[in-house]
A and B are shown apart, each in its own frame.
Chain A
């Protein structure tokens, strides 16, 4: 719940900051922003793969949250509320730009979108270790539909039923797209590792 967060800044806990922000206290808004800025910004950055847009969306998400903070009653975790709002802000922006946020149904996909390689057939295995920055680059290179599902499930920790609700697809589709996203990432990481190994 909201009070679980450790005190920030001048000893203000999250719960205290929420109450003071409802009264219009500038410092309280800043405390709440500082508590959640990295998570919200990282979410926006992963979903859009664009720094300027991620900054713009982070600002918009916090602004929407702060406009509604007077209605927050603490029945749910503040962070859950905020992150759900951030996801909605991003999805709305992606839809406005005409980018695919709803993954293609399996029946509409071509064979090219499914992984072709036999497991372990060519590139070296990742051996259970994945470099964070390499993964970040590989996620950015994913098609938007796959990226959305992967970010929401594997990075943000949303369940398939929540993702289906937010994105507007079936639970089965969310599961299937997640698997394909992971397979694409694996291919991409293995290719990049093989290319590095070939360099003298």
Chain B
């Protein structure tokens, strides 16, 4: 048997189909013997690549947000607590308050935009940016920063990895809010920009809700 002939039957041979002729060639040919040894080494090393890599935490975050959005993750049915748990979760009040503020803010932005559109149509005069005249306390970065700090402290009691994951998520969502605010300010009549801003706040509220769920006993 020549090396070329041996190579032709190699795929079947590696699947276990060996005969005495193959064995005789392997015993006499170091090149083909090396080839077999290399191919086996490649196959064996390949198995180590099976679960080698760790996905970024953002994969689970995006997945969790999507699972909640689709209703696959449902809120647990909690039994009424005998003792108020607010002391353990001092920032928990922020979720409903934030939700109310966000809805109010959205309505104001939308109404201002609609009013200004009507005004423009009537007077053909330039209008002042709607977002600029809104009370800044609702959405100010310093308030966001304080809230985020409290939230990170709360989730940090679970694990440092969770805290790091939430820190990254908050950075992303705050950047998104900042971009959306700038867009809404630069063109108060842009309904898409206003919708983006509401979506951004929605995502932030969802992060807080997820953190609240996780901090429950």
Measuring CB to CB, which residues of chain A are less than 8 angstroms from any residue of chain B? Answer: 23-26, 29-30, 33, 37-39, 41-43, 45-46, 54-55, 58-59, 62-63, 66-67, 118-121, 125-132, 135-136, 139, 150, 154-157, 175-176, 178-179, 182-183, 185-186, 189-190
Contact = CB atoms under 8 A, between A and B. Distances in A.
A37 B35 contact: no
B55 A37 contact: yes
Contacts of A38: 51-55
Given A121-B31, A154-B47, A128 B38 contact: yes
B38 A139 contact: no
Given A119-B3, A139-B49, A62 B42 contact: no
Contacts of B35: 119-120, 186
B30 interface: yes
Interface stretch (B71-79, B81-89, B124-132): B71-79
Nearest to B75: A24
A42 B53 contact: yes
Contacts of B140: none
28 contacts: A24-B73, A24-B74, A25-B74, A26-B64, A26-B213, A30-B64, A38-B52, A38-B53, A39-B51, A41-B53, A42-B49, A42-B53, A55-B55, A59-B63, A63-B63, A118-B3, A126-B38, A128-B37, A128-B40, A130-B38, A136-B52, A154-B46, A154-B47, A155-B46, A175-B12, A182-B39, A182-B43, A186-B39
Given A45-B53, A186-B42, A189-B42, 6 more contacts: A23-B74, A26-B210, A38-B53, A119-B34, A132-B48, A176-B11
Contacts of B63: 33, 59, 62-63, 66
B62 interface: yes
Nearest to B55: A41
B161 to A, nearest CB: 11
Given A33-B60, A33-B63, A120 B30 contact: yes
B173 interface: no
B45 interface: yes
A135 B55 contact: no
A62 B66 CA distance: 11
Contacts of B37: 125-128
Nearest to B72: A66
A29 B67 contact: yes
B7 interface: yes
Contact of B70 (A37, A67, A150): A67
Contacts of B15: 175
Interface string B119-140: 0000000000000000000000
A135 B60 CA distance: 28
Nearest to A42: B53
Contacts of A46: 49
Contact of A26 (B39, B40, B71, B73): B73
A119 B31 contact: yes
B11 A178 contact: yes
A150 B12 CA distance: 16
A26 B11 CA distance: 47
Contacts of B42: 126, 130, 135, 154, 182, 185-186, 189
Closest 6 CB pairs of A and B: A24-B74, A120-B31, A154-B46, A130-B45, A41-B55, A119-B35
